[in-house]
Structures are given as C-alpha cells and as structure tokens.
C-alpha cells in the first residue's frame, strides 16, 4: 500500500513552498502523524550537514527539525549548487557526483538520477505515515518540463495530491495561478487539487471576490489564505531573502550603549547565509550584508561568510575595492571568517583539480594558513573547545563551539600559526581535529564551523567580548536562539493551521484530521 503523500507546488520561486512544507511537517507531527519531508532535487547554496555526515538542502533540514526527526540525505537526494550562471556542482545523496553545465545536466543526465530519487523516496515513505513533498520553482517551466524530475513527475511517482501556492505579496497572484495551470497539460492540471494564497496583508474581505472568481475560472478550490508573517526567523534558502534580512544604514550614534555594527560581505556566491540569523535576532546588534566598500564604513566587525566560489569571490572583492576596506579595518578592528571566508583570510588558495573552477590566488594575508581545494568534501557535524581564553583580546566566558563543516578545502598551518579550536566530528568522537586560526593579536579569527552562532553560549560570549573590544557596554539582553526557534516553528504552524483547510487537504489522501481542538474552531481568515 502506498504511503499517503501531499506535494506543495508553487507558481514560482520564493512564493513560500519551503515554509508551507515546514509548517505542514510541524502541524502534522504535532497531530500525531509520523511525517517526513522530501524534495527530489534542490538548487541552493544554502546547505546543511546531516548526522551521517552528508549534505542536503537547508530547507529539508529545517523541515525535518520541524517534524521532530533527524535530517536524512534521503530527504533531498539531489542537490545542485551553482558554480556560475550556467554550471553547477551536482550533489547526489550527499556527495559530489559531477560538475556539469546546465545543458549537460538537464539535457543528458537527469534520467540517470530518477532511480536514485525513487529509491530514496520509497525508503523514507515506508518509515512514515505521511510524506510532505516540496516542488521546485514552477511546474510550468515549459522549456524544462519534459526533463523535470522534481515537480509533477515526482508527484506522480509518489501518488501525491498537490496544492499550488501563489505569493500575493509579489503581486499578480491570480494571473500566476491561472497562468501556471494554463501552461500544464490536462492530465497535469488534474494532479493539482487546490491552491493556497500566501503572504497576504490587509483586509481579507477585499480579497474574497477575487478568490471566488479564480476558483470558478480554474475549477479548483482555495484551501486558505495564509497571512504575511513579519519577522519570521526561520531559515530561508533563496539569496533573494538577504535583502529582507539586512539592517538599516549605520547611524551617527556614539553612545556606548549603541548597537554593535557588524558588516557581512555579501559575496556573489555567498553560501549558508543563514549562519547569521541568530546575530540578526540579537537586539544589541545591527547587521548589514554589504556589497560595496562604502557600506562597510564605521563598522565594528567584518565577517567573511562561506562561498561556493572562493577564488572567484576573492577576485570580486579586489575588483570592488572591498579588500582595501577590509585590510584597513583589520589594522584596528575585528575580522571573522567562516569556511571560504576563512580561506580568503589566508596566504594562498589553490584549486589544482578545478573543483571550483581552478586557479591559484593570493589570499588577504591576515592569517598564516594555506588552502588547497581537494576532490573530496568534508561534511560533518562537529563540536569542540576553544584553544584560547580570549576573543578579540578580551576574556571570553564560553569555552565550547558547535556547528558543522561543509568544505572541499584542506587548510594547513604556516609558521607559528595558532588554531582557533580543537573539534570532534560526529561519528569520529575519538579523532580530535584542529579548526580555524587566530591572528593579528586575536583580532582576526577564522573557522570552518558553519552554524557557530546558533550556539547560544558561544554567540553571547562572542558578542560580549566584541562589544568590550569596541569600547561598548555589555548587552543587557541576549536572545535564546533555540527557544526562539521553537516559538517560530509554532508561530508558523499556528498561522497555517488556522488559515488552511487541513481537514480537506488530509481527506485528499484518506486521512483524518485528528486535532479536535482545531476542528471545532472557526477559521475566520479562511475564504
């Protein structure tokens, strides 16, 4: 017997498919179902490490967390990480499979992956009561539809019932819903059972006539209108969301109580930008993602994040003049690099196997390290201990670090280089590995640990030490990130469960809606 499955499709990218899938995983898990997320193919530079030491899209890791289960590589068997406008690194079941041009992949290689996708899906499905699938982009990309392995073809493979999501905040939601369905073949249209309007602001009574009209036009029901959730601090995958995350420009405030100013360099190929979500949530901090040297003026600290194209993005820094701004700041202020950002802070980066395009580039020379890009990727969760009692020249209250590694670079220490921490990787608890580097009298620090700021104890100590080093007062309030994250999961789930007709959606797959309390409550915002 086939496991019941529901698929969330979208009229385009960034319409909220990932968040709605996350919400459904949370809602249905809380309702007592064993539920797991699945996305056959994901394209994102924002990835996560699974407990078994493999790599998947961050959205599926988030969805697993919402469902209360460990992330598995089978939840996202194919991950595409762009390396340019028309080329990508293809990750299959968490490991590098090939570096391909877009034409090679879509025209010649996708069919090879269908058996892998089917096997991963069936493995997960047999372990769960209900599968929640996520589509990618739009199912109506007519130039790619015959080679699409993630949307309606996947829905058919899983026997999934489909809901189509449109984003009203972007405008044109009715046209996008209608246009999507018009571009599908009749049999494909029949796979879609209803639609949801997402990110609504305003008076719903003004929207309802349009909802009724489009229901009649497409002969499919609206399952609900989900409100726009301001300030939701859950992981996004698309880099377009960076614009929504950045703080306003720095003010002229010279008070010792002013917010700490942290500039994050927004590389063209920035990866894992959600590393900084906890910093954005802290009331004592103002974070800006910066693309020009001018934007980095008057900052207290500069962070170089991860990147999929380390050498290319380092060259971009030099062309833009951001390297001069960074080096000038490093003479007096704090610099912190994560993964590719740390590699750039070193003496040299080499890519002899063309893993990221090939080449050799002098680094910024702020840390005594050398990096060589390898053919095998390190993908592990890790935790460990700091090797120094200070950060940025100030005592630090925390002594432990926690996060995950995703990198192909192998970094070696030069001369009298000092490591940042010693870490133990999940699955290899007896193996101690040196991580990162500290230079410039403790003002410049690098680490391979993504997610390091998600660890409350370290983040609080990091900010306290950094503020003191900048002559600022200690923060009076810190965010408890884990607690806030759980609250945000519940906030998202409550918003969706009270605005979407869950009973009807589950009836599509022959399952009851067991949450009696929600069954009895009226859904005032449901059209």
- CA proximity to 61, closest of 16, 29, 21: 21
Are both 341 and 466 inside the same structural domain? yes
Containing structural domain, residue 283: 258-472
DSSP secondary structure letter of residue 112? H
The pTM score is 0.90
Domain CATH number, residue 24: 3.40.50.300
Domains in the chain: how many in total?
2
Are both 302 and 399 inside the same structural domain? yes
The stretches of 37-109 forming alpha helices (DSSP H) are 58-67, 102-104
Assigned domain for 479 exists: no
Assigned domain for 102 exists: no
Task: Tell me the pLDDT tens digit for each residue of 409-419.
Answer: 999 999 989 99
Are both 507 and 451 inside the same structural domain? no
DSSP secondary structure letter of residue 418? B
CA–CA distance, 162 with 183 (Å, rounded to integer): 16
Are both 192 and 306 inside the same structural domain? no
Are both 112 and 176 inside the same structural domain? yes
Are both 212 and 346 inside the same structural domain? no
Are both 415 and 498 inside the same structural domain? no
Active site residue ranges: 339, 450
Residues contacting 106, CB < 8 A, separation 6+: 144, 147
Task: Tell me the pLDDT tens digit for each residue of 185-228.
Answer: 999 999 999 999 999 999 999 999 999 999 999 999 999 999 99
Please check whether residue 307 is in contact with residue 270, taking contact to mean a CB–CB distance below 8 angstroms: yes
The DSSP annotation for 328-380 comes to HHHTTSEEEEETHHHHHHSSEEEETT-TTS-EEEE--SSSSEEEEEEEEEEEE
Residues contacting 480, CB < 8 A, separation 6+: 456
Residue 85 has a pLDDT of: 79
Assigned domain for 448 exists: yes
The DSSP annotation for 181-226 comes to HHTS-HHHHHTEEEEEEEEE-S-HHHHHHHHHHHHHHHT--EEEEE
Are both 264 and 184 inside the same structural domain? no
Query: Strand 348-351 to strand 390-391: parallel, antiparallel, or no bridges (unpaired)?
Result: unpaired
Q: What is the 3-state secondary structure (H, E, C) of 481-516?
A: HHHHHHHHHHHHHHHHHCCECHHHHHHHCCCCCCCH
Assigned domain for 249 exists: no
List beta partners, residue 5: 131
- CA proximity to 463, closest of 454, 452, 451, 474: 474
Are both 468 and 498 inside the same structural domain? no
- CA proximity to 249, closest of 232, 263, 269: 263
For residue 246, with 0-12 CB atoms within 10 Å meaning exposed, 13-18 middle and 19 or more buried, which class applies? middle
Domain CATH number, residue 329: 3.40.50.880
pLDDT in tens, the chain (527 residues): 799 999 999 999 999 999 999 999 999 999 999 999 999 999 999 999 999 999 999 999 999 999 999 999 999 999 999 887 788 999 999 999 998 888 889 888 999 999 999 999 999 999 999 999 999 999 999 998 889 999 999 999 999 999 999 999 999 999 999 999 999 999 999 999 999 999 999 999 999 999 999 999 999 999 999 999 998 989 876 655 676 566 566 777 889 999 999 999 999 999 999 999 999 999 999 999 999 999 999 999 999 999 999 999 999 999 999 999 999 999 999 999 999 999 999 999 999 988 888 889 999 999 999 999 998 899 999 999 999 888 998 989 889 999 999 999 999 999 989 999 999 998 888 889 999 999 998 999 999 999 999 999 999 999 999 999 999 999 889 999 999 999 999 999 999 999 999 999 999 999 998 654 433 333 333 34
Assigned domain for 96 exists: no
Are both 297 and 186 inside the same structural domain? no
Structure tokens at 13: 């990218």
Assigned domain for 348 exists: yes
Are both 142 and 46 inside the same structural domain? yes
Please check whether residue 451 is in contact with residue 383, taking contact to mean a CB–CB distance below 8 angstroms: no
3-state helix, strand, coil in the chain (%, to 5): 35, 30, 35
Assigned domain for 244 exists: no
CA–CA distance, 413 with 343 (Å, rounded to integer): 11
Are both 156 and 302 inside the same structural domain? no
Assigned domain for 378 exists: yes
**SS3 call for 65:** helix
Structure tokens at 428: 């290899």
Please check whether residue 218 is in contact with residue 173, taking contact to mean a CB–CB distance below 8 angstroms: no
Task: Tell me the pLDDT tens digit for each residue of 17-62.
Answer: 999 999 999 999 999 999 999 999 999 999 999 999 999 999 999 9
């Amino acid at each position: 017997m086939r496991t019941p499955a529901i698929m969330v499709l979208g009229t385009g990218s960034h319409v909220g498919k990932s968040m709605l899938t996350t919400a459904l995983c949370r809602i249905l898990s809380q309702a007592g179902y064993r539920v797991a997320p699945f996305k056959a193919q994901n394209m994102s530079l924002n990835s996560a490490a699974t407990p078994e030491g493999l790599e998947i899209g961050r959205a599926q890791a988030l969805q697993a967390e919402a469902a209360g289960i460990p992330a598995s590589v089978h939840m996202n068997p194919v991950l595409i990480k762009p390396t340019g406008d028309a080329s990508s690194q293809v990750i299959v079941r968490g490991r590098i499979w090939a570096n391909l041009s877009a034409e090679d992949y879509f025209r010649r290689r996708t069919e090879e992956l269908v058996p892998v996708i089917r096997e991963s899906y069936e493995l997960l499905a047999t372990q769960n009561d209900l599968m929640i699938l996520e589509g990618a982009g739009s199912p109506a990309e007519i130039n790619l539809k015959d080679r699409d392995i993630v949307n309606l073809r996947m829905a058919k493979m899983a026997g999934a019932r489909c809901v189509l999501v449109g984003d009203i905040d972007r405008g044109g939601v009715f046209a996008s819903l209608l246009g999507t369905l018009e571009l599908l073949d009749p049999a494909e249209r029949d796979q879609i059972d209803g639609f949801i309007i997402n990110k609504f602001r305003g008076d719903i009574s003004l929207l309802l006539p349009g909802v009724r009209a489009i229901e009649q036009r497409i002969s499919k029901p609206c399952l609900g209108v989900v409100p726009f959730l301001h300030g939701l601090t859950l992981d996004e995958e698309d880099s377009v969301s960076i614009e929504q995350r950045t703080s306003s420009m720095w003010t002229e405030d010279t008070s010792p109580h002013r917010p700490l100013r942290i500039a994050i360099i927004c590389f063209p190929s920035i990866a894992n930008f959600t590393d900084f979500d906890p910093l954005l949530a802290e009331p004592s901090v103002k974070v800006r993602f910066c693309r020009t040297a001018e934007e980095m003026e008057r900052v207290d600290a500069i962070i170089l994040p991860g990147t999929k194209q380390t050498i290319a993005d380092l060259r971009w820094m030099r062309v833009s003049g951001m390297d001069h701004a960074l080096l000038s700041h490093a003479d007096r202020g704090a610099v912190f690099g994560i993964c590719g950002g740390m590699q750039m802070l070193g003496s040299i980066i080499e890519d002899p196997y063309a893993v990221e395009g090939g080449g050799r580039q002098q680094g910024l020379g702020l840390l005594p390290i050398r990096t060589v890009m390898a053919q095998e990727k390190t993908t592990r969760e890790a935790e460990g201990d700091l090797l120094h009692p200070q950060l940025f020249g100030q005592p630090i209250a925390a002594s432990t670090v926690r996060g995950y590694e995703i990198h192909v670079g192998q970094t070696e220490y030069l001369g009298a280089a000092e490591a940042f921490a010693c870490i133990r990787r999940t699955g290899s608890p007896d193996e101690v590995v040196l991580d990162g580097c500290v230079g410039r009298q403790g003002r410049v620090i690098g680490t391979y640990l993504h997610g390091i700021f998600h660890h409350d104890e370290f983040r609080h100590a990091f900010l306290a030490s950094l503020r003191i080093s900048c002559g600022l007062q200690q923060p009076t309030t810190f965010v408890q990130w884990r607690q806030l994250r759980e609250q945000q999961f519940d906030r998202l789930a409550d918003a969706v469960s009270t605005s979407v007709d869950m009973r009807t959606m589950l009836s599509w797959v022959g399952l009851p809606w067991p949450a009696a309390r929600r069954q009895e409550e009226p859904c005032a915002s449901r059209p």
